[in-house]
């Protein structure tokens, strides 16, 4: 029994030593890969710059599309439904109809524009005072401008609300101000799909760039790899430094892409503020956010690792000691 216990202790001690050596080699190769980037700064900068630009393009485009979606979502809250009433309705009838519409659960507010007020506003805006005076009577109807509640600001819900009001006998025509929002959302959905397609293509480009860089590194270290294999190193042992090297390329490219997106947003911030200021809005551009930055960095690491793995898997088999 004592001999068996001592054997188990030796076995556990041996496994612990192997695991410690395994972690130590990973730690060493991790920092060796970082040092390898600094040995050829110009070549490293060019590779990282290409990776960073390839990652920054779809990331920046997605940020702009998401900002446009957020802006259009804010515009939905200002959607209006205009009810053009039939001519000849008295002011009392118009007011009663406004009170009835205001009592609807999907209505937040109702603005009454009388026929006389509509005529005065049209004359002020159009300048056709003399022409309108020849008509003899006011051709413009009274209008009820309906502001939906938050639950009815979506285009589908607002459309349903407009149809219910359009069935009223006093209403001649219904106009919605959210139709253009539906077109804008369709365009943004198309742009989002296009950006995702471009992102996939650029991700493939990043994998190929890293793979070609690691291939050149393998050729430059061919003699070192042959000596390592002569000493008994396995393919996994030889492959590990190149995988970390590719991951460092991807991480550096992800950091550069993040910086480029920040610079782009800063350059566009001023013109965007001026544009939204003309419409009386307080919208401001939002960046990637914490999750977006982590996703960009993680995506760069994964793409760098994948490109390195593909290059090593293809070219390492051809290097055998002679």
Are the CB atoms for 118 and 82 separated by under 8 Å?
A: no
- List, for residues 201-256, the tens digit of each pLDDT value: 999 999 999 988 888 888 877 777 777 777 776 767 777 888 888 888 999 999 99
pLDDT classification of 1: cutoffs 50, 70, 90: very low
Are the CB atoms for 101 and 146 separated by under 8 Å?
A: yes
> Could you tell me which CATH number the domain at 79-176 has?
3.30.70.3040
Rg of the chain over all Cα atoms, to the nearest angstrom: 34
Q: How many CB atoms lie within 10 A of CB 261?
A: 25
Distance CA 279, CA 215 (A): 54
- List, for residues 45-93, the tens digit of each pLDDT value: 888 999 999 999 999 888 888 887 776 655 555 567 888 888 877 878 8
In this prediction, residue 255 carries a pLDDT of 94
In the chain, where are the structural domains located? 26-74+183-315, 79-176
> Considering only CA atoms, which of 223, 214, 273 is closest in space to residue 245?
214
In this prediction, residue 42 carries a pLDDT of 85
Name, in order, each residue with C-beta under 8 angstroms of 275's C-beta and a sequence gap of 6 or more: none
- List, for residues 135-180, the tens digit of each pLDDT value: 556 667 888 888 887 777 666 777 788 888 888 888 888 887 666 6
The tokens describing 40, both together, are: 């050829």
Burial class (CB in 10 A: 0-12, 13-18, 19+), 232: exposed
CA max distance for the chain: 119
């Amino acid at each position: 029994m004592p001999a068996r216990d001592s054997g188990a202790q030796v076995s556990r001690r041996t496994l612990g030593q192997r695991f410690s050596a395994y972690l130590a080699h990973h730690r060493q190769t991790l920092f060796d890969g970082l040092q390898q980037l600094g040995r050829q700064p110009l070549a490293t900068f060019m590779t990282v710059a290409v990776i960073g630009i390839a990652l920054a393009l779809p990331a920046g485009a997605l940020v702009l599309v998401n900002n446009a979606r957020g802006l259009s979502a804010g515009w939905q809250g200002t959607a209006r439904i205009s009810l053009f009433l039939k001519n000849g309705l008295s002011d009392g009838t118009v007011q009663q109809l406004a009170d009835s519409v205001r009592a609807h659960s999907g209505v937040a507010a109702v603005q009454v524009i009388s026929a006389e007020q509509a005529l005065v506003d049209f004359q002020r805006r159009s300048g056709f005072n003399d022409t309108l005076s020849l008509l003899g009577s006011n051709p413009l109807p009274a209008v009820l401008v309906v502001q939906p509640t938050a639950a009815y600001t979506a285009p589908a819900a607002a459309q349903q609300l407009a149809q219910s009001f359009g069935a009223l006998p006093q209403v001649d025509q219904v106009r919605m101000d959210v139709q253009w929002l539906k077109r804008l959302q369709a365009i943004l959905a198309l742009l989002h799909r296009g950006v995702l397609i471009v992102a996939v293509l650029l991700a493939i480009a990043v994998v190929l760039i890293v793979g070609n860089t690691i291939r050149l590194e393998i050729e430059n270290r061919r003699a070192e790899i042959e000596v390592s294999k002569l000493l008994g190193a396995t393919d996994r042992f030889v492959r590990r430094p190149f995988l970390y090297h590719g991951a460092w390329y991807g991480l550096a490219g992800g950091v550069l892409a993040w910086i480029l997106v920040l610079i782009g947003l800063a350059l566009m911030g001023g013109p965007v503020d001026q544009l939204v200021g003309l419409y009386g809005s307080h919208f401001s551009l939002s960046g990637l956010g914490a999750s977006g930055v982590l996703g960009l960095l993680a995506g760069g690491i994964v793409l760098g690792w994948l490109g390195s793995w593909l290059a090593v898997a293809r070219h390492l088999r051809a290097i055998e000691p002679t």
